[in-house]
Homo-oligomer: A and B are copies of this chain.
Amino acid sequence: MRIVSSLLSGLLSSADQVSPPLDAEAHCDLPCGVYDPAQARIEAEAVKSITERFNASDDELFRTRAIVIREQRAELLKHHLWVLWTDYFTPEHLAAFPNLHDVFWRATKKAGEAKKTADVAVADDLLNQVAEIEKIFWATKNA
């Protein structure tokens, strides 16, 4: 994905050079209008990576740090999702995506669950749920 995306961006920049607008979209509650679910996805990736590294290590110091840091990343993930849910999404979006509340509720609950387990499958579920949110987000942005 990264590779393709950078190939593509190479093509784009040499090709049309119309220069993609840095399309900002609100993420603080000014609101500034710069929302981006990538913030949540990055934390979900961290949660998975930390879980894997926790499992691969038998060093007390490392494992303790992994637990603590994963706790922080998962909490931050919940925060980013809550912000999107409350601040970005509107009643119109809800009408178009009636499962909106449910998707966010399950994803934030999953983030809590991911703090409590060494099971990487939970982190994978979490990534999938965040991906589902990204899909909804971009569908509403591009609408």
Neighbouring B residues of A7 by C-beta, 8 Å: 13
Neighbouring B residues of A29 by C-beta, 8 Å: 69, 75, 112, 115
8 A Cβ contacts from A9-38 to B:
9-10, 12-14, 19-24, 26-30, 32-34, 36, 38
Q: B20 contacts A65, CB within 8 Å?
A: no
Q: B6 contacts A61, CB within 8 Å?
A: no
Known: A1-B22, A2-B142, A8-B4. A30 touches B69 (CB 8 A): yes
Interface centre among A24, A48, A87, A141 (most CB of B within 10 A): A24
Q: A8 contacts B10, CB within 8 Å?
A: no
In the complex, whether A105 has a CB less than 8 A from a CB of chain B is yes
Neighbouring B residues of A118 by C-beta, 8 Å: 61
8 A Cβ contacts from A104-128 to B:
105, 108-109, 112, 115-118, 127
Copies, count: 6
A82 to chain B, nearest CB (A): 4
Q: A50 contacts B32, CB within 8 Å?
A: yes
Known: A24-B49, A86-B109. A69 touches B8 (CB 8 A): no
Neighbouring B residues of A101 by C-beta, 8 Å: 101-102, 105
Q: A46 contacts B65, CB within 8 Å?
A: no
Q: B22 contacts A13, CB within 8 Å?
A: no
Q: B49 contacts A3, CB within 8 Å?
A: no
Q: A61 contacts B116, CB within 8 Å?
A: yes
